[in-house]
Structure formats: structure tokens, C-alpha cells
């Protein structure tokens, strides 16, 4: 028998970036745990598919097209959730981007990580830097700000931010991405302190290597895959369902005494 504290029956969850990969996996496991789920991303066909999968599990679901870099669209996402379900108990800030690139392009110089760079002849632009920050950090600010009034009023809530083990491991050609993920960890810590008196838990998950569209090249290029596996003490990459199960724990009463933490699920990579 599973302890009742791990159940989230009757909860309402919002998951961004839910059309595929990590977001979809988390959406489905939360539904298995008993939550109704509002799934969001920019690609309607993908989130409709996720919503259909949630409904097959016996839970209610709606798909809301949302560009998380636009604060008004994130506000609308939360408003739609409350209109449809009457409340919001869980927010998973998952949407994000990654564009490997060297900070400054130097002809003929191959920086560590250069094999993943698709545009080696150009330096990182203002637009590329801001896109990463908007998608990976500002989106979480917009989401937590939008959901805050509802959770503060009900004096309860679970916020789960998706960071990365890249927040604590330096990697060449990933300055914007790693910097943004480190910012997510600090945002998580500060907001956890601010909202702790209101029984709102704010935690983060720091995934290591999982197969997603963002990381596809590391699996499809033989030497990149070999290098990746050599840096994982357990010797293999994770299953997306593992992330869903961790999110379920953080969304459930079982984690009520945990807040302000980033849990790295990475086969030991961040322990090296």
C-alpha cells in the first residue's frame, strides 16, 4: 500500500512546456497521482495530445496555448485554470530553451563543447542571450507572480521549477543556459523563504541527461554520447518517468517540510 501522503487526488496542476519531453512526462505522472492538469506550450497540437493522454488516465485536462516569455499570456494561463477548475494547487515551471554557442567567436579556435555549436562563426548575440533568459528565468518569474495571489489567498501551494545540473556544473559553449539555470535555483531559494509562512513550498528539480529534443544531438552523435555517458557515475541516462515521479513527490503532502531545495536527478554527475 502506498502511503496516503503521496497522493494528490483532487489537486489542480499547471505544467508549462507540457507538449513533449519532461513537461509531458510530469503531466502524466501528476495525473496518475490524481491531479487534473492544465498543459501549456506554444504548440497546440502537442499539448492537445498531452491533454488527451491525461484524460485517458481518468483526469480532467485542458490545453492552453501559451508563450511563457510573454507575461500577459502566462497571466491568461493561470486565469483560465482558475476559471475552469476553481483553483490552482501545483505549478510546474518547465518550459525552456538551450542554444549551444560560444560567447565570442574566434576563427579557427575550438572551445570546449564546440561539437554542439551549430553556428561557430558568430559570437553570442544580444537576442540569443535574452531569448534564453526570457524562456528559462523570466518565464518562472511570470508564472510564480501570476499564481501567487491564488496560492497566498488559499495559504497553500506547490511550485516546482525545472532547473538543471548545469546550474552547478560548468560547460563550455553553454554560458547563457547554465547561467539561467543557476538563476532558477536562487529564485527558488528566495521565493521559498518569502512564501514559507503561507504553506507554499517552492522547490526545483535539476535533471541531468535525459533524452529530449533539446539534448537530441548528444544521443545521435556517437562521440558526444560516449562523452556524456563517461561523465555519469551510474553509467546510463535517465528515464523521463523518473522526473515525473520526483515531481509527484514535490507536489504531494509527503514533501510538506521541504522547501527552497534543488534536487539533482542526474545519476551522480553533479557529485563529481
Assess whether 142 carries a catalytic annotation.
Answer: no
Give the C-alpha separation, 43 to 41, whole Å.
6
Q: Is 82 in contact with 6 (CB distance < 8 Å)?
A: no
The dihedral over CA atoms of 144, 32, 62, 49, expressed in degrees to the nearest 10, equals 110
Question: One of 142, 150, 177, 249 is an active-site residue; which one?
Answer: 177
Give the C-alpha separation, 175 to 173, whole Å.
6
Listed in sequence order, the residues at least 6 apart from 126 whose beta carbon sits closer than 8 Å to its beta carbon are none
Q: Is 269 in contact with 165 (CB distance < 8 Å)?
A: yes
Give the C-alpha separation, 111 to 125, whole Å.
17
Look at residues 4, 5, 30 and name the one whose alpha carbon lies nearest to residue 16: 30
Q: How many helices (H) and strands (E) does the chain have?
A: 9, 7
What three-state secondary structure class fits 8?
coil
Query: How crowded is the C-beta side of 69, counted as CA atoms within 13 Å?
Result: 10
Listed in sequence order, the residues at least 6 apart from 97 whose beta carbon sits closer than 8 Å to its beta carbon are 131, 132, 135, 136, 214
Q: Percent helix, strand, coil in the chain (nearest 5)?
A: 50, 15, 35
Which residues participate in catalysis according to the annotation?
Answer: 177
Amino acid at each position: 500500500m502506498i502511503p496516503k501522503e503521496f497522493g494528490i487526488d483532487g489537486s489542480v496542476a499547471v505544467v508549462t512546456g507540457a507538449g513533449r519531453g519532461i513537461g509531458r512526462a510530469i503531466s502524466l505522472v501528476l495525473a496518475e497521482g490524481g491531479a487534473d492538469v492544465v498543459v501549456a506550450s506554444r504548440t497546440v497540437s502537442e499539448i492537445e495530445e498531452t491533454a488527451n493522454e491525461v484524460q485517458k488516465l481518468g483526469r480532467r485536462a485542458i490545453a492552453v496555448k501559451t508563450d511563457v516569455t510573454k507575461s500577459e499570456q502566462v497571466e491568461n494561463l493561470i486565469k483560465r485554470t482558475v476559471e475552469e477548475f476553481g483553483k490552482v494547487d501545483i505549478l510546474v515551471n518547465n518550459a525552456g530553451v538551450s542554444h549551444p554557442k560560444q560567447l565570442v567567436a574566434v576563427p579557427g579556435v575550438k572551445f570546449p563543447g564546440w561539437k554542439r555549436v551549430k553556428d561557430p562563426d558568430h559570437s553570442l548575440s544580444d537576442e540569443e542571450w535574452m531569448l534564453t533568459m526570457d524562456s528559462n528565468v523570466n518565464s518562472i518569474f511570470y508564472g510564480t507572480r501570476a499564481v501567487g495571489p491564488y496560492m497566498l489567498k488559499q495559504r497553500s501551494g506547490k511550485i516546482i521549477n525545472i532547473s538543471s545540473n548545469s546550474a552547478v556544473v560548468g560547460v563550455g559553449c553553454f554560458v547563457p543556459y547554465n547561467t539561467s539555470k543557476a538563476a532558477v535555483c536562487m529564485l527558488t531559494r528566495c521565493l521559498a523563504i518569502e512564501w514559507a509562512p503561507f504553506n507554499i513550498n517552492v522547490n526545483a528539480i535539476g535533471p541531468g541527461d535525459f533524452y529530449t529534443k533539446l539534448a537530441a544531438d548528444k544521443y545521435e552523435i556517437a562521440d558526444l554520447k560516449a562523452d556524456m555517458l563517461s561523465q555519469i557515475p551510474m553509467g546510463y541516462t535517465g528515464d523521463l518517468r523518473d522526473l515525473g515521479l520526483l515531481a509527484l513527490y514535490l507536489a504531494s503532502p509527503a514533501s510538506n517540510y521541504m522547501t527552497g531545495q534543488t534536487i539533482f536527478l542526474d545519476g551522480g554527475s553533479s557529485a563529481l
